[in-house]
Structures are given as structure tokens and as C-alpha cells.
Amino acid sequence: MKMLSGTVLLLTVLLFLGLAAALPADDYPAPALKAFISKQGNSGWRPKLPEEATLLGLDAAAVLDAIRGKGVYVETEYIRLVSTVPSLKASTKTYPRVRQSLDTLVATYPKFKSRYPVLSRVQFAHLIAFHLERVMAESWRLFGTTCKTYVDYKNSHKLGPIMRQRGKFEVFLFSSSSEYNRFADQFTGRQSMLGQRYRSPSSDALSFLVSPPSGGARALNKWVNLTVNNFAHNILMSEIRNSYRVPMWLDIGFAHWMEQREGFETNTYTFGEAGKKVRFANGDWRPPLRSLVAAGKVIPFDDFFQEQSLGNYSGTMRGLTYGVVDFMIRKNRDGFREFVRLLRDKDSLDLRAAFSQAFRAPPSIFYERWMHWARTKYTAIGLKSLSRDPVMEKD
């Protein structure tokens, strides 16, 4: 699919019903509505894949030949998505944000009405790609990044044009663990029962590969949890430029924060190459965090502030990273943006000094402030004051 020009992109923003009221059209891009969609059939992929399409740094058609059975290829302006997930039903408890994406797609593509709430495999793939682009656009707003930032970046930066990488984000969703393992082993050379994050050396594309969530291949909400969590890792990495510049606690906390934002029903874990499952709590993590604070069982921030090994993060530590990021975004947005900027732009980085500069306090003092805030805000009454989505609030 050809890249949209700046004028066409602006028109696309204005046409996008779900975000137009919340995001200023001249600053924040909306998902591209005219995605390229191709289905795998007995005679190959129809319509034929774009000639320039690549996956994992290789010719897309050659990579897709490795998928056995029925697959779907969706390409938007910023994402290339491959899915073998079968048709599924959107339940009455589908997340409100996902429902908003579905409603927008129904309004834009009448064919979505045909069997709704049953989603065909093509509709599912289109929904996930569309919803992830919403998450990406909203993340840009959170970072204080605008559409113009990336237009300028595309035109001038030697590494552009997709955020701070050359290739589009890539997403691979598989209907079974065996299908995922076979594909991951062939194209990444690594096996993990939970998933892979991968950066292609030749195309400089950030990707992730996952097998079905714990609810199975037909669980829409859990697919959203899983894909948003993993995509958030790559969005943050792209914003900061390189994974080694992203503190592990920020990487974990931001991904869980974006995932919890979808519906507060998640118990998704962040995975490591070893494939060890580590969980914090089911559902909304904030009340359990308050209980930890009230009981005096909170781990000192210094115990994981510079810890870069994912395997060393317990469930409790993961919950705490979420709480710290929640505090940053809700009460210290300017500091959050400044911290991300320092991580990106400083060639020689002292993490502690960068944190203190961004938040006007050393990490230990900031952590004390979060605990005081959590005691009040993570109560039943306090949570009502946090009901508004901070991403959509005006600066």
C-alpha cells in the first residue's frame, strides 16, 4: 500500500470518527482506513501482495509461504500484520475501546455488519491492525509527539521513515502454539513458548510474534491484551531509539499500563526468552498495589531501578513498575516526556541523573511520593477520580 501524502493523511484523520473528537486532527494521526488486505487461498494470496512488502527482512511472499492453512495479511500505513487466527465472536463484554474501534469499522466498512458480532478471520485481522494503530497514535500523544514530528523525521532523518526505524511495525498472530513455534524457529532461530520480540537487521523493522493467549484463539479481549502489551514495548523502543537505552522497569511498566488501559481485566505477563510466566494479580492492579503499600511490603525502588535482566523481575516488581508509570503519566506527564526525551537524545546517559532532572527529584523521593499518592488514589473512592483516560486529557 502506498504511503499516504500529508494531505491525504490529514483527510484520513478528519474522517476517522472514533478519534476525531479526542485528538486534534492537525497534530495526531488516526489509523489509515484503507488498509491493504490479502487472504491466503488454494491458489495463493489474493489479491497479490504489494511488490515492495517485506517481512522479517525478507520477501513477504516467501515468508508467508511458510504459513500452512488459511492466513490473512493486512498492511496499513505503519503496520504489517499476519494472522492465522480463526473467526471468533465479540462478546457483550468486549472492551469499550475495542467496541469503539469495531463501531468505527462498521461505519466505514459496511461489510463488517454482515455477521456481526461474529468476526471472520479477515475482520479480526483488520480490527487488530486498526486498533493497534489507534494505540500508536495515542502513544504519540502521551509522549508529546505530533504528526508533524514524524513528517519531519520522514523527510530528514537518515533512519526514517516509520517513527525512528526504517521498516513498518510487524505483527504475527498464530492460531496455535505449534504453528507459532514452527514459524519462529524457522525465521528467528529462537524458541520461546510465550512469544518473540524481534528486530530485523536488514529492514530495521520492530516485530513481535505470539501464540494464542491463555483464553485461546477465539478470546477477543485477551488477544487485545496480548497485542497491546507487546506493541507497547515496541512503540516505546521506537520512541527512544534503541532497546538498550530503555530501563527495564520502564519497559515493563509502560507495556502493562497500556494494556490495563484497555479494560482493567488483564493478567497478561511480560515474557522473557526463557518463557517463564510471572504474574502479579488478576484484573485491576491498583487495589492490590495499595494493599502492598499499606502493609509496608513495597520493594525499594533502588532494588530494581537499574535492573536490566527481565528474569529478575518478580510479579510484585512488575506490579510496582506499573504503579510508578501510572503515577508518572497521571501526575507527572511533563516529567515523563522529559525522561523519555533524555533517554533518546543523550549520547552519554546517567540514568539516575536523567531521572532526577526530568522529575525534579531523585528516584527514592519520587517513589515515596508515589506510595503516598497510591494510598489515597488506589482506594474505591480514589479510583473514581482516575476514571478519565489521561491520554485523552488536554495538556
Q: What pLDDT was estimated at residue 194? A: 60
Helix (H) or strand (E) holding 133: helix 121-143
Query: What does the buried/exposed string (b/e) look like for 211-222 if buried means 16 or more CB atoms within 10 Å of the residue's CB?
Result: bbbeeebbbbbb
Q: What pLDDT was estimated at residue 238? A: 85
Please tell me the pTM assigned to this model.
0.88
Cell of 289: 498495589
Query: Do residues 257 and 229 make contact, with C-beta atoms less than 8 angstroms apart?
Result: no
Beta strand segments in the chain, E: 36-41, 44-46, 54-55, 58-59, 72-75, 79-83, 88-89, 118-119, 169-173, 196-199, 206-210
Q: What pLDDT was estimated at residue 359? A: 97
DSSP codes of every residue in 188-236: TS---SS-EEEE-TTT--EEEEE---TT-TT-HHHHHHHHHHHHHHHHH
pLDDT digits (tens, 9 = 90+) for 351-375: 999 999 999 999 999 999 999 999 9
Distance of CA 386 to the CA centre of its chain: 21
Q: Which CATH class, in words, describes the domain spanning 250-392?
A: mainly alpha
Measured in degrees and rounded to the nearest 5, phi and psi for residue 155 equal -80, -25
Q: What pLDDT was estimated at residue 164? A: 62
**Cα(289)–Cα(205) distance, rounded to whole angstroms?**
36
Q: What pLDDT was estimated at residue 12? A: 30
Domain ranges of the chain: 6-241, 250-392
Q: What pLDDT was estimated at residue 16? A: 32
Q: What pLDDT was estimated at residue 288? A: 96
Q: How far apart are the first and last CA of the chain?
A: 34
Q: Residues 6 or more apart from 67 whose CB is under 8 A from it? A: 40, 82, 84, 179, 183
Q: Which segments in the chain show pLDDT lower than 50?
A: 1-26, 161, 273-274
How many angstroms separate the Cα of 387 from the Cα of each of 296, 374, 378?
Answer: 26, 15, 11
Q: What pLDDT was estimated at residue 114? A: 64
Q: What pLDDT was estimated at residue 250? A: 96
Q: What pLDDT was estimated at residue 291? A: 97
- Rounded (5°) CA angle 338-344-348: 105
